[in-house]
């Protein structure tokens, strides 16, 4: 075993695992970290990796030989070749000096692997004051019912053909939110249904894909979705209706929970906070 849990566990201020992202606190074990090291050697997806839905090979991998694992801090670098390449160093440790050490390692590895970007990812505890970055939020489906909302929400394929045809231009307009990528996966038949809302026979919002998969300990998890509403259609409560429809779908299809990442103080963050989700901590990403 590479990682010592008695060293690593006290450093985990938020449940984030390199290459996997946020995980449920109950599933946060040393085995997860060990699994990511093995996956780096094979290039294959772990059975519970959320990116497995898209097929192909795992793009991001841990640079095992460059991991720094010590009693008071752990630095875990990852490499992706997507685009112009990127190195990220996940900095686990309670002292602020861990960020400087991680930045130095990220810059060195970016130069070695000839990548454009070098970043440091630091998990932060839920009680962090004035947090930046993304908030990790938990929706627990076992505590209360999630009723279907009133509103114009349907799966894309349940709309009349003329309305369905408006999804492509909507997805292109919201490409920066991942909707163009989602559209390509939908066309390839690689994902579950996508819930949408329409105004005057034009799709203006979407959340999806809707998929439930087992996590590392076998609990059914509603997988992360892409979520966007056209700017000109905001302020009408459509985002809330879409989100509640997604939560209803997840609960009715047997999911025990969902993990979400939202930009701190952004519209989705405020929505999730208003809906009573539990904050599990934060992830702050900065250039090295």
Question: What's residue 45's pLDDT?
Answer: 93
Q: For residue 56, is pLDDT > 90?
A: no
Residues 201, 169: contact at Cβ < 8 Å?
no
Structural domains of the chain ordered from first start: 5-131 (no CATH), 143-255 (3.40.630.30)
pTM (predicted TM-score) = 0.92
Q: For residue 202, is pLDDT > 90?
A: yes
The whole-number average pLDDT for the span 234-240 is: 93
Per-position DSSP letters for the chain, written without gaps between them: --S-HHHHGGG-SS-EETTTEE--GGG--HHHHHHHHHHHHH-PPPTT-GGGGG-S----EE-GGG-EE-SSEEEEEEEE-STT-EEEEEEEESSTHHHHHHHHHHHHHHHHHT-SEEEEEEEE-TT-SS--SEEEEEEETTSS--PPPSSSEEEGGGS-HHHHTTHHHHHHHTGGGTHHHHHHHHHTT-S---EEEEETTEEEEEEE---EEE-TTS-EEEPP-EEEE-GGGTTSSHHHHHHHHHHHHHHHTT--EEEEEEETTSHHHHHHHHTTPEEEEEEEEEE-
Q: For residue 5, is pLDDT > 90?
A: yes
d(CA 217, CA 220): 9
The whole-number average pLDDT for the span 109-135 is: 96
Q: For residue 1, is pLDDT > 90?
A: no
What tens digit of pLDDT does each residue of 16-38 get?
999 999 999 999 999 999 999 99
């Amino acid at each position: 075993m590479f990682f010592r849990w008695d060293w690593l566990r006290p450093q985990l201020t938020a449940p984030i695992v390199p290459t996997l992202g946020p995980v449920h606190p109950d599933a946060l074990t040393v085995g997860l970290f060990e699994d990511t090291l093995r996956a780096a050697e094979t290039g294959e997806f772990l059975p519970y990796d959320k990116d497995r839905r898209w097929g192909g090979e795992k793009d991001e991998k841990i640079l095992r030989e460059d991991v720094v694992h010590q009693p008071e801090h752990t630095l875990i670098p990852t490499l992706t070749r997507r685009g112009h390449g990127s190195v990220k160093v996940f900095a686990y440790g309670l002292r602020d000096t861990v960020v400087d050490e991680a930045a130095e390692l990220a810059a060195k590895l970016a130069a070695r692997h000839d990548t454009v970007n070098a970043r440091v990812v630091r998990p932060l505890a839920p009680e962090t004051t004035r947090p930046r970055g993304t908030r990790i939020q938990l929706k627990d489906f076992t505590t209360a019912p999630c009723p279907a909302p009133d509103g114009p929400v349907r799966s894309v394929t349940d709309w009349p053909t003329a309305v369905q045809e408006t999804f492509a231009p909507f997805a292109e307009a919201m490409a920066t939110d991942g909707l163009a990528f989602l559209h390509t996966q939908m066309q390839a038949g690689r994902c579950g249904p996508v819930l949408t809302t329409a105004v005057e026979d034009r799709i203006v919002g979407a959340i999806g894909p809707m998929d439930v998969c087992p996590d590392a300990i076998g609990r059914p998890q509603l997988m992360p979705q892409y979520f966007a509403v056209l700017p000109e259609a905001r302020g009408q409560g459509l985002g809330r209706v879409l989100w509640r429809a997604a939560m209803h779908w997840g609960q009715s299809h047997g999911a025990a929970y969902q993990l979400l990442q939202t930009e701190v103080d952004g519209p989705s963050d405020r929505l999730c906070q208003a809906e009573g989700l539990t904050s599990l901590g934060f992830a702050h990403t900065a250039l090295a």
